[in-house]
Structure 1
């Protein structure tokens, strides 16, 4: 009876230890700021965003040139203008400046929105690959070190090389210069 009790106790302990081992979480990390720029689609997305941005830059340069020309004209003729003419010209210059500022703010918002829109499929693809690698390698948690700062943490595994391999990116690939 005592032997049966000891055997049962050993079995219960082994099962408990097995469940404890299964309960252990495997944690990995990846820096998506290193992954995204080396993905092949990244160059296409950044080129599209840059082209979209350029359409706004051209208009802003036109407004800047108009403001500069009219300002120079105002400076040259200011001494011979009446007070009413000066006030009207200053109002016109202020209006052009306000339009340029408003246009620039609107352009920045639209470019940021377009960038997010174009980048979403790329981010989704990266997330899918990270999820697949984590599942294949048995990771319970993956931390993105580009957006989280850890002061003290246990040693974990960097998933960047495995995710690059999953996406067919050379292990030595580096982000494009200037991006």
Structure 2
């Protein structure tokens, strides 16, 4: 019986110690949008993506213009259709129709390819930046003894943090760790 009582007290002590340890865990939060908005590498990467997007859109716009020109030409040719030239103009219209279908397919393929290229380039450019920011967040969290860090950025689709009171805002510390001025542009604060 005495062993059972000792086991009970040891178990109760362990539970009490575990509860005390978990109650002392510190929480922090960061606004990743603010960090990325002020990170020079992110600005450069965004500029590169915008340039690539404009280039791809210009190529697609050129094909659309060609499509519109051929369509206008086909409509004009159709207006000249008569019984006398039915066979010759009919063949021309058929050829132009096939060219329009081919061009439409090329436009759709170009849009798909552009989207894939931009997505691949985005991954290529932002993956190292995200890793760098994650490393800085981890380092600051360890320095401050934080057990958890929540991202309070509005643009984070999975942001489930709707209220916080207290906790350490480590946004400025992470920006400093990344060499960004602590007074650089702030992103809008999330709604509590």
TM class, shorter-chain normalised? 0.7 to 0.9
**Worse-matched range after superposition: 104-113 or 54-63:** 54-63
Say which of 107, 115, 126 aligns to 1:108.
115
Task: Tell me what 1:6 maps to.
Answer: none
1:71 has 2:78 as partner: no
Number of paired residues? 165
1:99 has 2:98 as partner: no
Tell me the SS of whatever aligns to 1:35.
helix
**Worse-matched range after superposition: 28-37 or 130-139:** 28-37
* Cα-Cα RMSD: 2.7
Compute the TM-score of the two structures, normalised by the length of structure 1: 0.78
CA drift of 1:136 comes to 0.4
1:43-62 matched pairs, under 5 angstroms? 43-62=43-62
CA drift of 1:62 comes to 2.1
Compute the TM-score of the two structures, normalised by the length of structure 2: 0.74
The gaps in structure 1 that reach 5 residues or longer are 1-12
CA drift of 1:76 comes to 1.6
Structure number with the bigger relative contact order (C-alpha 8 A, sep ≥ 6) is: 1
CA drift of 1:152 comes to 4.6
Distance in 2, Cα, partners of 1:135 & 1:19: 21
Say which of 160, 174, 181 aligns to 1:170.
181
Tell me the SS of whatever aligns to 1:170.
coil
